[in-house]
């Protein structure tokens, strides 16, 4: 840790400052825009850009997503919002910084980012190897849409790292996972996955290598940086913890510089670009407050998880911060904040005891919350300053059920750890006593 520089030097450099501070100030100098006279970066929001000459237009098109361009130093020639524009560009610089990655490309939603990350890495005939429990729409994409492009997905339990070597085939190009897993908060050992993937990649040409893609939405970069743990590419739903306030949707792919241009080209042609108005909210409100929000929310999450763990009507609580969390050692290794402190996040998953065996207790509990609770809201999404509750089995992860009820044999087993009576809780910034009081009242009727 270097000591802070003198004021004149600080204007030009962010080095020596902690990430938490950098997330608030961003880059004081960026080729995207000179905002050295702004306290808040500008929202420019222009669908098209004035070109001073046809040569400038031609140069702009030539330089867009040009592999030889130094995108870090180069001042882009802006042409049209769907190609590139400054407000989103500034957010991308800061998101790369937050994940400590080389570059970031933003998309309209988390799903647009996830599908882009996978699609730029696979061709017809290739395969994806994915953990068997995933966010419902990701699972639906891999099973309903990717096969139409001739790309097959094999689902395995990536917690069993000894199975990975046998599951990787000659055609595998992407190994895809979430950790913590949505919704049950299982963890995948990313360093162990990396070892297996490195072994499989030995002797492969660069374009044939397996890339590890990690959805870091649950943890946020404040609690975990997968690029340091073995991931090649990180994806996020900006709609969740990074956006933080529930006002906008967005997604991002963060990874090595070599993927920047192909992602920009993909985004240009598929069109799922993040709007500058949404980007500005994440740039000005979401990212700068990420550390403060997460630090507070995870402190509350531990209190709530402990309350639940001791409640007689609760069968099982999954929260990486609990001493009883089965993968506690792995949690401490993987989930750390920018200062290296244990950062188990703000998400809790739990199940209720239910003698009926028909999931009635969870239903009564959630309906009571929806009707009577003041500071807990029945809603999907997560990572907001408001505490949200939902039933993944029937809501966010219903794609698994649809598959199990349908024709595809074997799908049922893939929904491991998404019990009908499971409850997902996303802790917000309310006073923890109020959250616990609302839960206590609802549990009394469960």
Ligand X SMILES: *Cc1c(COP(=O)(O)O)cnc(C)c1O
Quick one: which H or E segment has residue 333?
A: helix 328-334
How far, in Å, CA of 44 to CA of 357, rounded?
55
Residue 200 or 287: the one with the smaller Cβ distance to ligand X is 287
* Count of residues that interact with ligand X, criterion CB under 6 A: 17
Among 30, 182, 300, 318, binds ligand X (CB under 6 A): 182
* Alpha-helical segments (H) within 52-109: 54-63, 86-99
How far, in Å, CA of 30 to CA of 33, rounded?
6
Backbone angles phi, psi at 288, to 5 degrees: -60, -25
Q: Of the ranges 17-25, 31-39, 133-141, 290-298, which one interacts with ligand X (CB under 6 A)? A: 133-141
Quick check: 110 binds ligand X (CB under 6 A)? yes
**SS3 per residue for 159-170:** CCHHHHHHHCCC
Task: Give the CA angle between residues 307, 309, 310 to the nearest 5°.
Answer: 70
Cβ partners under 8 Å of residue 270, min gap 6: 112, 116
How far, in Å, CA of 127 to CA of 92, rounded?
29
Least distance in angstroms from the C-beta of 150 to ligand X: 24
Least distance in angstroms from the C-beta of 354 to ligand X: 26
Q: Of the ranges 3-11, 122-130, 192-200, 234-242, which one interacts with ligand X (CB under 6 A)? A: 234-242
DSSP string, 124-156: TT-EEEEESS--HHHHHIIIIIGGGGT-EEEEE
Residue 44 or 334: the one with the smaller Cβ distance to ligand X is 334
Quick one: which H or E segment has residue 206?
A: none
Q: Of the ranges 215-223, 265-273, 309-317, 326-334, which one interacts with ligand X (CB under 6 A)? A: 215-223
Residue 31: HSE in the Cβ half-sphere, 13 Å Cα cutoff: 10
Quick check: 178 binds ligand X (CB under 6 A)? yes
Quick check: 109 binds ligand X (CB under 6 A)? yes
Residue 60 or 221: the one with the smaller Cβ distance to ligand X is 221
Least distance in angstroms from the C-beta of 163 to ligand X: 23
Beta-carbon count within 10 A of 434 CB: 14
Give bridge partners of residue 33 from the DSSP assignment.
30
Among 41, 221, 226, 251, binds ligand X (CB under 6 A): 251
Quick check: 261 binds ligand X (CB under 6 A)? no
Quick check: 131 binds ligand X (CB under 6 A)? no
Q: Of the ranges 83-91, 212-220, 280-288, 334-342, which one interacts with ligand X (CB under 6 A)? A: 212-220
Residue 235 or 336: the one with the smaller Cβ distance to ligand X is 235
Residues that bind ligand X (CB under 6 A): 109-111, 114, 135, 137-138, 178, 182, 215, 217-218, 237, 239-240, 249, 251
């Amino acid at each position: 840790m270097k000591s802070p520089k003198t004021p004149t030097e600080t204007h030009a450099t962010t080095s020596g400052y902690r990430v938490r501070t950098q997330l608030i100030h961003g880059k004081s100098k960026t080729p995207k825009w000179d905002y050295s006279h702004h306290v808040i970066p500008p929202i420019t929001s222009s669908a098209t850009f004035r070109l001073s000459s046809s040569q400038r237009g031609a140069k702009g098109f030539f330089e867009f997503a040009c592999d030889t361009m130094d995108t870090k130093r180069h001042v882009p020639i802006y042409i049209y919002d769907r190609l590139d524009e400054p407000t989103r560009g500034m957010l991308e610089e800061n998101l790369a910084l937050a994940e400590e990655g080389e570059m970031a490309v933003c998309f309209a939603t988390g799903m647009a980012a996830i599908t882009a990350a996978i699609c730029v890495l696979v061709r017809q005939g290739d395969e994806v190897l994915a953990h068997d429990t995933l966010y419902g729409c990701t699972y639906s994409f891999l099973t309903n849409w990717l096969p139409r492009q001739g790309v097959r997905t094999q689902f395995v339990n990536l917690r069993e790292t000894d199975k990975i070597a046998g599951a990787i085939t000659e055609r595998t190009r992407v190994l895809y996972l979430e950790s913590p897993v949505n919704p049950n908060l299982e963890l995948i050992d990313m360093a162990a996955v990396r070892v297996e993937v490195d072994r499989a990649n030995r002797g492969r040409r660069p374009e044939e290598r397996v890339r590890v893609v990690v959805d870091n939405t649950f943890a946020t970069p404040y609690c975990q940086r997968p690029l340091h743990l073995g991931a090649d590419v990180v994806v996020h739903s900006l709609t969740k913890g990074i956006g933080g306030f529930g006002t906008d949707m967005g997604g991002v792919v963060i990874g090595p510089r070599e993927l920047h241009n192909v992602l920009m080209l993909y985004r240009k042609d598929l069109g799922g670009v993040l709007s500058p108005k949404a980007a500005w909210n994440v740039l000005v409100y979401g990212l700068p407050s990420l550390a403060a929000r997460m630090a507070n929310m995870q402190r509350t999450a531990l209190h709530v998880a402990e309350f639940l763990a001791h409640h007689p009507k609760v069968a099982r609580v999954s929260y990486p911060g609990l001493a009883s969390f089965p993968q506690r050692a792995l949690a401490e290794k993987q989930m750390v904040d920018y200062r290296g402190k244990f950062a188990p996040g703000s998400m809790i998953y739990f199940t209720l005891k239910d003698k009926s065996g028909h999931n009635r207790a969870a239903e009564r509990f959630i309906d009571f919350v929806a009707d009577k609770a003041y500071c807990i809201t029945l809603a999907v999404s997560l990572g907001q300053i408001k505490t949200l509750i939902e039933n993944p089995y029937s809501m966010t992860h219903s794609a698994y059920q649809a598959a199990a009820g349908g024709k595809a044999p074997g799908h049922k087993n893939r929904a491991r750890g998404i019990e009908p009576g499971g409850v997902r809780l996303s802790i917000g910034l309310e006073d923890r006593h109020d959250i616990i009081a609302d839960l206590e009242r609802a549990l009394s009727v469960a």
